[in-house]
Amino acid sequence: MAPRKKVSTTDPLVSHRRHFGRTVFALLRLEQMEDTPLENFPAEERREHHVFEQLLESYPGLLERLKKRIGKGAAGARGDDTKTLKSAVLDWITPKGEAIQPPLHRNSKVDRGFNHELTGTKMNLRSGELWFLCCMVLHQAYKHVFTSPSSVEKEPKATRSGNACLHGMTSVTIASIAYIATQVRFALSSSSVFSRTDMTTDSETFYHSLLDLLKDPEESKEVHELLTWWNRQIFPTSSAAKRPISANSALSKIRQRHLALKQSSISNVATS
């Protein structure tokens, strides 16, 4: 008789916890949420919190299990993405038909960050400026993580695979954009370990400040247009991608500024 197949003991919620980290909150620490005064939340969220408290009272130990499992899933996804993006990002920032000079190592990051002109220039982006969220390398990284690595070099199609398809994801989220921006910035840096105490990239502060910016009520119009534009790049067939964007919109001005800065940078290199 043929040997029996080993029964899989994989937790069916593992992939959902990983997706939660990528699209909702990457650096989850539930103890911080517990310390936040309830009156700081909107009425709807306070009602939901009350229901959640009742659930916790019904199942002793549930909160501790959630902390452990969600945190572990988010950290696992972050680790996997950090590993694959370390090499992939070099392909995306390499000038077409040229080679990076001086060369950058694919398996080591010691020569990246501000140790190299190319990575240093691309890292010099402030989370307080929305325009950098339109750069191509972020779209490539987003597709790499959410649709599939192979989709980066191909035209988007109606049928998607990868994490987005697995979880029924049909539009981008604010947190997912902040997550990808943080991952790309870390991939460009010289830091070897994604750590909350990393003083070189300060990834946690960057991630939180970007979330704050994108959730700022005063930026709501620009962010709405930004999300629509992002959906057109990643999920072109979704309803979220079909919202109109005015030619004189704030996003258009952001993109025009980005293009002007890029052209200025190219001109400076050519004349130097």
Question: Per-residue pLDDT for 131 more than 70?
Answer: no
CA 31 to chain centre: 23
- For residue 18, the model assigns a pLDDT of 81
Q: Check if the beta carbon of residue 180 is closer than 8 Å to that of residue 145.
A: yes
pTM (two decimals): 0.72
Return contacts of 29-32, CB within 8 angstroms, 24+ apart: 29/71, 30/63, 30/66, 30/67, 30/70, 30/71, 31/67
Model pLDDT, residue 218: 87
Q: If we measure between CA atoms, which residue out of 178, 253, 240 comes closest to residue 24?
A: 178
What confidence tier does 5 reach under pLDDT thresholds 50, 70, 90? Answer: very low
Range 10-15 average pLDDT: 60
pLDDT per position as a tens digit, 105-123: 998 999 998 899 888 888 7
Q: What is the pLDDT of residues 187-243, one digit of tens each?
A: 999 888 776 666 556 788 888 888 888 888 888 888 888 898 899 889 888 777 666
Q: Is the pLDDT of residue 160 over 50?
A: no
pLDDT over 60 at 159, yes or no: no
Q: Got the DSSP string for 171-202?
A: S--HHHHHHHHHHHHHHHSS-SS--TT-TTT-
Kindly list the distances between the CA atom of residue 261 and the CA atoms of 216, 221, 254, in Å, as whole numbers in the listed order.
25, 23, 11
Which pLDDT score, from 0 to 100, does residue 9 have?
Answer: 47
Q: What average pLDDT does the chain have?
A: 76
pLDDT higher for 128 or 81? 81
| Spatial CA neighbour of 75 closest among 179, 163, 173 | 179
